[in-house]
Structure 1
């Protein structure tokens, strides 16, 4: 017997399959309980699909320089300890038994990370993975943070528990009297990256907070908390602080020694700081950052941090629409000649 295939029969067959699928979903027969796990073929298919998706999209989406190579991993380690270790575990720390009952459970990155390239890890960290509980990166435009996390995850397979504790702040003196007088764990979360002395533990991506304007620090924490300023690392900390805690932390670091007057050694940098470059529509740095001005104190800040921040702002690929309000620093940074970024950073650092 020959069955003639026609468009009508094909459409009817597809409609029947769709109706059967909807009926199956409506019936509730399918067991979605995490406790039941997946069939082996289902688990294979889902992971196979995910891996192929990551390989394809990371090829086009991830930058070629997907990993930080300066060896600075304190901020990434601190964020991992606060936001990731509960699910993934860490050197010397088992993952939460509760989170391991998720479906799928979070992988052991000391093993799993070796199965991905840097670009693929960058893509996963930036975008997350649907249906797995893996979130997208919490700070838009903060590829610098993602690169450091890629470097940190790359290090996990050979990282000792002692090295992890040191990087994540376990040996920074967070349990001192000062920490207890300022809500203990609240200050400890800051000290883990910024150091008990507020000097950033020598890391190129962590600013010196000691001596910074208290009002600026308080406003910055509020901006991180409500998303006006982007950083997955800082938002995770700031979002849980009360206004009173933000005020107390700001006052604590503002009272420390650290930032202050720095000697001027480069005449070209001094010219930009004091007068700007009118021909490039670049205003003087001192018009906003001089003593008594509302913007942060730069004198005494670490040069490598200042240079990195300026380059981050210069690299912002967002198209500037003059009809819309803009963040000031990305516009300013693009007007600074590339060859003057390092001299300016050293000028403020007093080097």
Structure 2
């Protein structure tokens, strides 16, 4: 008997298979529990597909220079708080609970070397579907992703002592009413002295206005200010703790002392004063103190404002700093940041 395959029969057969598939899914007979795992061929196919997809989209979407080795402390602090529990770290095993996921998160201290730099950047920024790997929490902060990519790249060759040095600022201080872990989430990056552990991407908090620090923390929590690192660090910090932390760092010797001991407002490239900055960014003003702040951090903030697609000049109330930043020529940002940071120096 010869069965002739016609277009009509092929369509009917495909529809029948589709109906059977839907009935099977509706029945609940398929196990989706993590404990059941995957068949070997399923596991191979999913990983093969994922690797092919990462390779393709990393080539299309990732920058050719995805590493920033100058911000390892902030990346390490975020890794300790958000990633270590699943992926482990030098001298720290992954959580046994998280290793019961399907698929289990890879130990990056052993497996990060299997990926190219651009592939690591793409995975960290976009995550991976159907796994526990999330996308970066701040989609508009590729600078944070670059720092994390550089940190993950170093993990296979990093010792436990080196990891500890990056994630701990030394002897921790004490702050009445604030849990040690909450304070540590701040000082591990900002330092026990509030000066940012000599990292260009971490701002000086010591001597900064307490009101400004509280406002900044609230903006990070609400998402008005974008940073996956800060949003994670402040995720469980309540308003009372924010106030205590702001008072704690504000009282340290730092920016306020520098600003009040300097007499001149700083000069622009033509030798003229910078009233647009100094009129607002001074001790006692609502805007943050900038004298003594790190030039690299100030320049990065200006560039982020320039790149913000959500800024609308006609918005009420207007986003003043974004409007100002977008009017600064790109090739003058670094010079302006250095000048403002050094403002008041004799």
Scaled by the length of structure 2, what TM-score is found? Answer: 0.91
Superposed CA offset, 1:279-321 (max 9, x none)? xxxxx2234323433221111101222123223333x162755
Cα contact 2:265–2:273 (8 A) shared by 1: no
Q: Distance in 2 between matches of 1:49 and 1:96?
A: 27
- After superposition, residues 27-66 of structure 1 pair within 5 angstroms as 27-66=27-66
Residue 219 of structure 2 is matched in structure 1 by 223
Residue 6 of structure 2 is matched in structure 1 by 6
Q: Distance in 1 between matches of 2:320 and 2:153?
A: 35
Q: Distance in 1 between matches of 2:176 and 2:283?
A: 32
Q: Distance in 2 between matches of 1:270 and 1:133?
A: 55
Residue 202 of structure 1 is matched in structure 2 by 198
Q: CA deviation at 1:99?
A: 0.5
Residue 255 of structure 1 is matched in structure 2 by 251
Residue 126 of structure 2 is matched in structure 1 by 127
Superposed CA offset, 1:258-294 (max 9, x none)? 10315556443763621xxxxxxxxx22343234332
Cα contact 1:35–1:101 (8 A) shared by 2: yes
Residue 152 of structure 1 is matched in structure 2 by 151
Q: Distance in 2 between matches of 1:140 and 1:99?
A: 25
Aligned-partner SS, 1:289: coil
Q: Distance in 2 between matches of 1:269 and 1:305?
A: 23
Aligned-partner SS, 1:103: coil
Q: Distance in 2 between matches of 1:299 and 1:159?
A: 36
Cα contact 2:55–2:119 (8 A) shared by 1: yes
Q: Distance in 2 between matches of 1:198 and 1:322?
A: 34
Q: CA deviation at 1:215?
A: 0.8
Superposed CA offset, 1:145-199 (max 9, x none)? 0000000000001100011011011x4222x3x2466322211110000000000
Aligned-partner SS, 2:203: coil
| Residues 1:212 and 1:336: Cα distance change in structure 2 (over 3 Å) | same
Aligned-partner SS, 2:154: helix
Q: Distance in 2 between matches of 1:324 and 1:3?
A: 70
Q: Distance in 2 between matches of 1:74 and 1:83?
A: 14
Please give the root-mean-square deviation of Cα atoms over the aligned residues, in Å.
Answer: 2.1
- After superposition, residues 255-294 of structure 1 pair within 5 angstroms as 255-260=251-256, 261=259, 262=262, 266-268=267-269, 271=272, 273-274=274-275, 284-294=276-286
| Residues 1:306 and 1:322: Cα distance change in structure 2 (over 3 Å) | closer
Residue 339 of structure 2 is matched in structure 1 by 347
Cα contact 2:177–2:241 (8 A) shared by 1: no
Q: Distance in 1 between matches of 2:123 and 2:272?
A: 44
- Are 1:318 and 2:317 an aligned pair? no
Unaligned runs of 5+ in 2: none
Aligned partner (choices 279, 289, 296) of residue 304 of structure 1 = 296
Unaligned runs of 5+ in 1: 275-283
Residue 281 of structure 1 is matched in structure 2 by none
Q: Answer with 77-86 or 181-190: which moved more.
A: 181-190
Superposed CA offset, 1:111-152 (max 9, x none)? 221111111111111111111111111113111100000000
Cα contact 2:66–2:121 (8 A) shared by 1: yes
- Are 1:212 and 2:212 an aligned pair? no
Q: CA deviation at 1:210?
A: 0.6
Aligned-partner SS, 2:183: helix
- Are 1:336 and 2:335 an aligned pair? no
Q: Distance in 1 between matches of 2:270 and 2:104?
A: 53
Q: How many pairs does the alignment contain?
A: 337
| Residues 1:118 and 1:101: Cα distance change in structure 2 (over 3 Å) | same
Superposed CA offset, 1:20-53 (max 9, x none)? 1111112222121211211110000000111111
Q: CA deviation at 1:93?
A: 0.5
Q: CA deviation at 1:342?
A: 2.5
Residue 279 of structure 1 is matched in structure 2 by none
